[in-house]
Structure 1
Amino acid sequence: MSKITQEKQKKPEKPEKSEKSIKEVCDIIFSLEKKYDLNHMKIQGVYVWQLVRVYVYYEISRKIGVFGSPQQGKVTVKNKIFSFLPFIKNSLFSNPLNGKYNKDVIIFDHPRKVKHNGDYKDIYSYFLENYLDDCGYGYELIESPYLNNHHGKKGKFTKYNDRILFGSYIHKKKTNLKLKTCEENKIYNLQRELISNFNIEIDLFNIFRDHILDFKYQYNKYDKLFKKRKPKYVFVVVAYENKAMIAAAHNNGVEVVELQHGTISEYHLGYNYPNKEDKGLEYFPDKILSFGDYWKEVANYPINEKNIISIGFPYLDETIKSHINNQKCKQILFISQGVIGKYLSEFAYELAQKFEKIEDCDQYNFIYKLHPGEYSNWETNYKSLMKAQKLDNFQIIDNSEISLYELFSKSEYQIGVFSTAIYEGLLFNCKTFILDLPGAEYMDSLVDKNYVRKVNNVDEIINSIDNFNITEYDNDFFFKKYKKSSLDKFFNF
């Protein structure tokens, strides 16, 4: 056993947590990327940092206390048992590798679905299916499970990714990864830098191992898939979680296009690569179809700006119509997210309590809209909300039965941190407060342009209620109006 291997197996003393901002975390990571040329570093023939970059960023942020742990519900033993037979069925009869036929387009959609027009849909990609159906363009949709289940009706051209994902899990459990000494050196040096800079424990060896084994297994399966289907295009939602698929597509000469699914900023490591050497990365999509022109300038993408194409957000266009003319009332809407939900819920409770005691403010109602990932466990995780729901002016929304757009349309104010929904609330002319919690840096460009106001405490909100003045903005800049002709142009129809 090498000296390096012996050292890395010693259990270090648990360090005290340090406190850094999101910007400081990102700046340190960017400097290490430049120092070690991380995005071009190969381990076991794989550009491993490109695989783990986002994961390590969130792991660091969680360990130093910048972000809380995600509050998303877990897959219970009962759920695993009840999903076992459907999983076997899906693996046998809906395996995307079954059959020999060609498809012009393959779509990898978002696992989480939203009820829309009577069925559960991926709100970021269903418009593409409708378009391809109308054009008679051959496509296949490959759907991954969300919390061990598939929601909604299985479409005619839908396959389930259960077999590939489960195969990768088994492969990882039974396969040993043997590293060369020079590879161990690279990992050890980087691990030492991260421990030194962030004062945390982090096991890069296991993180790298898991991601490399997943990548190699999945790459082989997707390579077989693309050789069978011979697609011209692959569309994907959340490209940074599908690196093996992107690599296989590129090596088969297939163009990879990402559909924007959320907020992008200079602090989102799925998209921002500030070092000039990182242009043209192997595991990054060729093009991005964005919500609007605003998103072209908020990050240093490793692709040319001409390949970021504003196309709009069709789901928003469709859904907004039935709510846009609703009457505003004295309503304050909180937009929750798992990683900051604990702090935001405490803030909401404190603000609602104070409003009850202030003349004129006591007429306001508070709506706390939980993120779908928080629905199942907020009563356990958010004690402040359990107290808040006893207030006369406070309502908690823990389901998707009421449209978020209906809530926006009736709310005078919205309060959040960095959710994409905040941009949607701006379309409804919601006066917007950004609570200065970890992640608020994502919204700095909106704050700098005076489109929204950043606050630190409840008193700042109370003092701003009667004199909230912001700069006017063009809604189309954030969300361009979707037109079918945009896709005609993209596909050269």
Structure 2
Amino acid sequence: MVSESHQYIPGDKKTPLEFIREIETQWPVETVTARGLQVWPHLRIYIGSADDYFSQISGKKSLLIRTFFSSVFYGFGSLFRKYNYIIYSDTKERRKIDGLYVDKSIDYLMTIVHKPLDIEIPLSKHFARKNIPTKHIVSKVFFYFIETVYAKLFLCRLKIKEKHVLDDICAHYNLDFNYKALVKRFIAQYVVTRFFIRFNRPMAAFIECYYTNIGRIAAFKKKGIKVVEIQHGVISNKHLAYNIFKTFDESYFPDYLFTFGESERKIAEHEHFYIRSDQIIPVGSFYIDYINSHPVKHSFVDEFREKYKYLVCVSGQNHYSESDLIIFLNSVARLNEEILFIFVPRDESFKERTYELSERILVNYEVNCYEMISVCDYHTTVFSTCALEAPSLGVPNILVNIKGLSKLHYEEVLNDSNTTLYVNSPEEYIEAIKTFKVKDKAVIRALNREVILPDYKVNIKNALKKISLR
């Protein structure tokens, strides 16, 4: 892994994308193979990402170790069936609807295709089977376990052809990067997935995040099985996973991308986007449609409105910018007593971090971010995906552009000042909140239509027909 002393490039200020562009235009990374598979498509996200990404990966590994025994056999009985569709998901997508925790990305899809299996990774822990609507589900931890065992037993002496290219890159940038372990993980993904699909022969696989499943994607595609990526977060021409500067075998990338809206098609017009624009199909968001058709009411909101002029939902992120955001919000709270910030952490790991918080910053764990946004006047974050979604709930964004991250991720997509403003200082924030000409919720939703398309249920059915899966 990249050591803590290296953020993007030692002594440099390049972004991850700039770093990867430099490598891919100067080194023949496409020639590096193991067992006949190009390994760079799998390695690039790890070597190109900043230290906080690696800390997140490390955190996920320790979480999986802690939850191994409670997760590895979750839904194990579901493995002993044959399925037409394999779907990869994670627990953070679940939201409570009518007493059940519904996966907002894939559960509706699972009701309209025949014989699907959900392979779910527990990013905290799996929900009790009685509390979810998903009928056929198995833990991804089981597959991680098999892949780990396979790598240790059978890949000890794995040969990497042209490995000197990787050695040269590490030496040039002084990187402490354990690429051998990652290559073994990639090959294990591929082999174990090939073995699994021998007994299923599914029609298609749906994956929420392509770049952490490249070995699995290759296994499906080399067997002629369609792979569809379901958008899980921001996609832009600044995101290194979605911009490729070398030509690789297409088997490492999805056949189609189901997106929130039309804006990703415009991004795909850039020369280096990872798939063509005609492979992108906008479908919208199941949960945004649900919130808009089922308005929520919370009594505490009325109480807050008696004391404060502005209610702001802040969506947190497990990211190094979080502490800077807290400092920023504290500064705003000191300067203006009319604003109440309701901070919704990404998960309960926020409790492990100690911050001094103004009395006008409340931390909420009870109401999810989407519901909270819908009852507030504004939404604030650095670059959480909620920035894409808030205007489709009728609520404008004021994004805190810490270290340029908000504009880096969103300037190309969220470029309508009627729905999104970017600020760099507490004074700018207060000025923005006082002068923002807030429009009716329906108007703001309409202005965000290109970012998130409404009518998800209709769109997803049409998308499946378009790619001959329904």
Question: What range describes the TM-score normalised by the shorter chain of this pair?
Answer: 0.7 to 0.9
Residue among 29, 43, 54 paired with 1:38: 29
Give the aligned residue type for 1:163. F
Cα distance, 1:124 vs structure 2: 0.9
Kept after mapping to 1: 8 A contact 2:30/2:248: no
Deviations 1:329-366 (A, max 9, x none): 611222211112111112112211221xxxxxx22211
Partner residue of 1:477? 450
Question: Cα 1:427–1:248, aligned 2, differ >3 Å: closer, same or farther?
Answer: same
Deviations 1:249-268 (A, max 9, x none): 01110000011111111122
Partner residue of 1:198? none
Cα distance, 1:53 vs structure 2: 1.4
Residue among 90, 105, 108 paired with 1:124: 105
Deviations 1:217-266 (A, max 9, x none): 22222112222211111111111111111011011100000111111111
Partner residue of 1:3? none
Structure 2 residue 383 is the aligned partner of structure 1 residue 418: yes
Distance in 1, matches of 2:352 and 2:137, equals 36
Question: Cα 1:218–1:157, aligned 2, differ >3 Å: closer, same or farther?
Answer: same
Partner residue of 2:195? 224
Residue among 293, 308, 315 paired with 2:287: 315
Give the aligned residue type for 2:326. S
Distance in 2, matches of 1:432 and 1:87, equals 38
Kept after mapping to 1: 8 A contact 2:20/2:240: no
Higher radius of gyration, 1 or 2: 1
Cα distance, 1:284 vs structure 2: 0.8
Once the two structures are superposed, the pairs formed by residues 3-82 of structure 1 within 5 Å of their partners are 24-39=15-30, 41-58=32-49, 61-62=50-51, 69-70=55-56
Question: Cα 1:432–1:88, aligned 2, differ >3 Å: closer, same or farther?
Answer: closer
Report the RMSD for the aligned CA atoms in angstroms: 3.4
Question: Cα 1:477–1:280, aligned 2, differ >3 Å: closer, same or farther?
Answer: farther
Cα distance, 1:83 vs structure 2: 5.0
Deviations 1:433-479 (A, max 9, x none): 22222432001214654342222211111233332359977222111
Structure 2 residue 295 is the aligned partner of structure 1 residue 291: no
Deviations 1:387-424 (A, max 9, x none): 33xx1x22111x2x313233222322222111110121
Cα distance, 1:367 vs structure 2: 1.1
Partner residue of 2:412? 445
Secondary structure in structure 1 of the residue aligned to 2:288: helix
Structure 2 residue 372 is the aligned partner of structure 1 residue 407: yes
Partner residue of 1:344? 325
Partner residue of 1:160? 139
Distance in 2, matches of 1:105 and 1:15, equals 41
Give the aligned residue type for 1:479. I
Q: Size of the alignment, in residue pairs?
A: 439
Once the two structures are superposed, the pairs formed by residues 17-416 of structure 1 within 5 Å of their partners are 24-39=15-30, 41-58=32-49, 61-62=50-51, 69-70=55-56, 84=69, 86-87=70-71, 89-90=73-74, 93-94=76-77, 96=79, 98=80, 101=82, 103-117=83-97, 118-132=99-113, 137-147=114-124, 149-153=125-129, 155-173=134-152, 177-178=156-157, 183-195=162-174, 202-204=175-177, 206=178, 208-273=179-244, 275=245, 277-278=246-247, 281-299=250-268, 300-323=272-295, 330-339=310-319, 340-355=321-336, 362-372=337-347, 375-376=348-349, 378-384=350-356, 387-388=357-358, 391=359, 393-397=360-364, 399=365, 401-416=366-381
Cα distance, 1:51 vs structure 2: 0.6
Give the aligned residue type for 1:365. L
Higher relative contact order (CA 8 A, sep 6+): 1
Distance in 1, matches of 2:19 and 2:189, equals 31
Kept after mapping to 2: 8 A contact 1:331/1:413: yes
Distance in 2, matches of 1:138 and 1:403, equals 31
Structure 2 residue 398 is the aligned partner of structure 1 residue 433: yes
Distance in 2, matches of 1:336 and 1:307, equals 32
Give the aligned residue type for 2:424. N
Secondary structure in structure 2 of the residue aligned to 1:266: coil
Once the two structures are superposed, the pairs formed by residues 460-475 of structure 1 within 5 Å of their partners are 460-468=428-436, 474-475=447-448
Question: Cα 1:310–1:40, aligned 2, differ >3 Å: closer, same or farther?
Answer: farther
Question: Cα 1:143–1:431, aligned 2, differ >3 Å: closer, same or farther?
Answer: closer
Deviations 1:307-332 (A, max 9, x none): 10011111211122223899996112
Distance in 2, matches of 1:403 and 1:341, equals 18
Question: Cα 1:487–1:444, aligned 2, differ >3 Å: closer, same or farther?
Answer: closer
Distance in 2, matches of 1:83 and 1:180, equals 30
Question: Cα 1:269–1:87, aligned 2, differ >3 Å: closer, same or farther?
Answer: same
Partner residue of 1:459? 427
In terms of mean alpha carbon deviation, does 258-267 or 173-182 score higher?
A: 173-182
TM-score by length of 2: 0.82
Question: Cα 1:322–1:73, aligned 2, differ >3 Å: closer, same or farther?
Answer: farther
Gaps of 5+ in 2: none
Cα distance, 1:192 vs structure 2: 2.4
Kept after mapping to 1: 8 A contact 2:374/2:393: yes
Kept after mapping to 2: 8 A contact 1:418/1:442: yes
Distance in 2, matches of 1:415 and 1:113, equals 20
Cα distance, 1:179 vs structure 2: 6.6
Distance in 2, matches of 1:38 and 1:269, equals 16
Kept after mapping to 1: 8 A contact 2:72/2:139: no
Question: Cα 1:150–1:431, aligned 2, differ >3 Å: closer, same or farther?
Answer: closer
Kept after mapping to 1: 8 A contact 2:194/2:220: yes
In terms of mean alpha carbon deviation, does 163-172 or 464-473 score higher?
A: 464-473
Question: Cα 1:259–1:75, aligned 2, differ >3 Å: closer, same or farther?
Answer: closer
Distance in 1, matches of 2:314 and 2:289, equals 22
Secondary structure in structure 2 of the residue aligned to 1:128: helix
Secondary structure in structure 2 of the residue aligned to 1:124: coil
Distance in 2, matches of 1:461 and 1:314, equals 32
Partner residue of 1:358? none
Secondary structure in structure 1 of the residue aligned to 2:397: strand
Distance in 2, matches of 1:181 and 1:477, equals 44
TM-score by length of 1: 0.79
Kept after mapping to 2: 8 A contact 1:177/1:209: no
